[in-house]
């Protein structure tokens, strides 16, 4: 039950305080991830969320081996699902709420409408990408830096631009476009925060 205090819902106020503490640069990432799990976020121990992330609700699920870089923003209105092995660059914004188009005297109607967003298995979302309501980024996609994704994608494609368009299809031959991190000459696939 949410208590109302003036015009502020206490449950929402408590979440905003928790969210502000979790996004602090002063909080080491290992402690941040443990604190998120303790406070009810659906995030496994092998995923990593860097500082500066704004999570406006807990209405999200994060898969295994997910890395989310600094400055991530999720508006929290509808569900956000991030599947396993996803990489998200700096300052990515996921928007699940919008407004219907109104008449000339007020183009954005007051009522909010929302649609969930999903980011599929193994995808890579580049720096500064904006993902709009109702988008499903299919598995294996790369979304180029600065793109605005307005429509769902097909699997295994590179998408770029405003609005994001398919630039090229990826094949199984394109497995890894970055050199592997190594430790003592051995490939290191485990995500470490």
Told to judge if 99 belongs to the known catalytic residues of this protein, a careful annotator would answer yes
Q: What is the pLDDT of residue 28?
A: 85
Is 184 inside a domain boundary? no
Contact 65, 91 (CB under 8 A): no
Q: 177 CB contacts (<8 Å, ≥6 apart)? A: none
Give the domain CATH number at 134. 2.160.10.10
Domain count of the chain? 1
148 — pLDDT class (breaks 50, 70, 90): very high
Mean pLDDT of the chain: 86
Is 188 inside a domain boundary? no
Q: What is the pLDDT of residue 70?
A: 95
Is 177 inside a domain boundary? no
Q: Which of 15, 65, 99, 105 is catalytic?
A: 99
Give the tokens for residue 20: 């502000």
pLDDT at 191 over 90: no
Q: What is the pLDDT of residue 193?
A: 65
Interval 16-75: pLDDT, tens: 787 777 778 888 888 888 888 888 899 999 999 998 999 999 999 999 999 999 999 999
189 — pLDDT class (breaks 50, 70, 90): low
Is 176 inside a domain boundary? no
């Amino acid at each position: 039950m949410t208590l109302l205090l003036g015009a502020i819902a206490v449950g929402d106020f408590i979440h905003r305080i928790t969210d502000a503490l979790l996004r602090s640069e002063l909080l080491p990432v290992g402690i941040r991830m443990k604190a998120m799990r303790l406070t009810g976020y659906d995030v496994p121990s092998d995923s990593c969320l860097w500082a500066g992330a704004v999570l406006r609700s807990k209405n999200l699920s994060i898969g295994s081996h997910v890395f989310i870089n600094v400055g991530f923003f999720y508006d929290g209105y509808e569900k956000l699902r991030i599947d396993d092995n996803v990489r998200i660059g700096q300052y990515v914004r996921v928007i699940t709420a919008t407004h219907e188009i109104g008449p000339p005297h007020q183009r954005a109607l007051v009522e909010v409408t929302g649609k969930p967003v999903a980011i599929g298995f193994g995808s890579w979302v580049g720096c500064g990408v904006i993902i709009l309501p109702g988008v499903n980024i299919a598995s294996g996609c790369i979304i180029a830096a600065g793109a605005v994704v307005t429509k769902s994608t097909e699997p295994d494609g590179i998408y770029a631009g405003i609005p994001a368009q398919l630039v090229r299809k990826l094949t199984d031959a394109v497995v890894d476009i970055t050199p592997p991190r190594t430790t003592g000459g051995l490939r290191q696939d485990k995500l470490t925060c």
